A and B are shown apart, each in its own frame.
Chain A
Amino acid sequence: MTTAELMDYAEVITRFDPVLGLEVHVELSTATKMFCGCSNRFGGEPNTHVCPTCLGLPGSLPVVNAVAVESAIRIGLALNCEIAPWCRFARKNYFYPDMPKNFQTSQYDEPIAFNGYLDVTLDDGEVVRVQIERAHMEEDTGKSLHVGGATGRIHGAEHSLLDYNRAGVPLIEIVTKTIEGTGERAPEVARAYVSTLRDLLQALDVSDVRMDQGSLRCDANVSLMERGAAEFGTRTETKNVNSLRSVERAVRFEMTRQAAILASGGSILQETRHFEEASGTTRAGRRKETSEDYRYFPEPDLVPIAPSAEWVQELRGTLPELPAERRKRVQAEWSLTDLELRDLVNAGAIDLVAATADAGAPPAEARSWWMSYLSQQANARGVDLGALPITPGQVARVIALVADGALTNKLARDVVDGVLAGEGEPDHVVETRGLKVVSDDSALYAAVDEALAANPDVATKIREGKHAAAGAIVGAVMKATQGQADAKRVRELILTRCGA
């Protein structure tokens, strides 16, 4: 695919309406797998987190992980879904070497949660409501490693290695209804949806939601219809979309690729495509001669799941404050403008500011520290704000020291630098770096006298009532005390000395 076969994005929008459908797979962070007692920890030596059940050995049987069901229900509730009073697992039958039983135990026509929605806020504050079709439980497959080929793909590989550590890891698949009418913002909506969903799952504490490790995976279905057309176009499903940015790029690329084909009189093949991170393009997966028939039928090794209304109600009570509600509350409590709130959200600073405020700092001070000096430090280090080696509690302590007058703002930044450099708690840094405000007036008077003596012209002006001239002496005193003096107090002492 060369860029010559892509349509200019602006033209795509004038001629076509994009239709999206997003399928997100979330690996639950339960202690054990979906149907057995094996560890659900990511990684590990290949084939060490396995047992007869997740290896599908003859005679083995599954037992449903109750915590996974609980997580599924909580996710469903957080997505404003109805919870099925009775549902079952089904078998999805197909042959693949990384699938131990050659069927996946999944939910089919009886998902545990259905008919919900998620409100998604775009960068400019516009809110788009994405309808949720369903959220259902299933198990993950193992992983294939193709060795010897140039690309790591199965084609051309000399042999393949199989790791079943991931086989049987609990997954929740969340499927949207078709998302229409988003026009040129379709790629942004797709990204914002996945981002909002990720924050929601994080708040629920049900998954690591690491797109880079595959604990959150997004398949993007994209189709185009001519503007004003009544029927949807043929869609493609793009997989291997491993970051929020890739979600946006993949959707945008598919729109421009499909538009070029349609405009030249071609038709879109319904197929699975793979996103190529490096080039930002999608390529066709292996084409199947016939459409797959999964021969779903109810899983006879498991009994139906029938969550009682009481249990669902109890789980509803365990839902934490969800990100959207929290933002609304924080905006009101901290009196933020929409822009200030968005900046906080985009910087990933809400939790940090809130935790700093919880540790006793005034929210405005906390926000100022995180959004200015600490953001600069994070940028300089090329890390997320949350990855800085300083805790909200430590920031709160620094703010308290400033409020007490024990530190100036300049000294406070030095203390923060010390904490970031791994020198210990703020009070310890103050101690070891000797960063105390010089509050001893006699010591300051000596410095003031010295500065006045060294600048007789300025001293005269002050004595003549030109108070503004005191600034130069303040600067000299601050320099002499290496910034450890309180500038306001120094100014007062200068004026006293000059009898002004």
Chain B
Amino acid sequence: MKRLSLALLVVFLAASVAGAQHIRIGGFGGNDTIIVEEMIELFVRPALEGTGITVQYEPVADDFQRYIINALSAGTAPDLFYMDVLWAGSLIQSGVVEPLNAYLEKSTVLKPEDIIPSLLDAFTVDGTIYGIPKDFNTLAVFYNKDLFDYAGVEYPNNEDTWDTFYAKLEQVAAIDPDIYGLALQPEFARFGALAFAAGFTPFNAEGKSDLSDPAFVEAIKWYTGMAETGVGVMPQDISQGWGGGALASEQVAVALEGAWIIGALKSDAPNLQYGACLMPKHPGTGQRGNFVYTVAWGMNAASAHKEAAFQVLEILTSPEVQQWVLERGLAIPSREALADNPYFQQDDPEAQANYVVFLGASDGNVLPFSFGSYGGDWTGPIDQALSAVMSKQATVEEALQEAQQRLDAVMGR
């Protein structure tokens, strides 16, 4: 009797598990919480009605990468999770991310060809796809129209080279000692795009990083030189955390940022008249440089409901959802078909800024913001060098020598 009831219980439990599949999605906290919750409410839940699949978003407020490493290692990770291109490589290498090729072959909705190839490549290792890019960002020149009007200077535009761009910034900075041309974030994540324009690549043919590369030296001198002449300023020195904050403060005329700045400007400086254009070209190479920042959906290799998780993934990357994301001005979706989207042609600063950011991914020397298995350890020494030079604690040569040593130590580990 006892045994029978136990068996019944087991059968009952198994049935209920098969009927209700609970898919957990892990991602960033903050703004993403609202966006993804709304996305799930508007698109995912209606589409999954009757399938018995339930979905829940689990935002992580602090250091997502640390969380996901811990969770995957401990076996408590969500079924679907964000993967930043910066650290996706080390997760994929560890074998905890499910290869998606088999699912993609069967899928009628989601095809690899639909996704912008350069984005997909960033999550493809030896022909195996490990993540579906959800959206991306690049850098663009965001400028305060009022400050340029006040100085009587032409706005930055897509034809600017470093020289003409510098001349414009110089004139704007001349308005007042407390007004600066460019927000100079001491980070490779901004400065690197300029180094790329000059022809620098993080890893040369031998796989080494050479900071004495003339292209790199030229770019760092140009960038940090602006701090010395007062044409630019580090956001930290005007009590701002980043370029967007500096632009919103109206003390700085230009910031090199991605589309993420749009939302921040909307809430922090709603009356700011801003415009956006492509990054300036290097006068020698005639090229622009840029980073592609992208985040993909990855699937947990240890997930109990992989088929259901992929179904959710299909909805999250569907054309309707991506159109919605685009129109909300949240990010630039990863589907190639969106290039001719009427949204981009609107006469609206947000839509135009988004379009500039979209174009940035395919113009000039564009590289993903990822540095092999070194991750943020690779950019750290360069960030420190930039900061040391711009706070006048070291010359460019001294700082680069130190950075090269530290970089060699990181790469030799």
Please indicate whether A and B come from the same complex rather than being unrelated chains: no
Residues in A lying within 8 Å of B, measured CB to CB: none
Residues in B lying within 8 Å of A, measured CB to CB: none
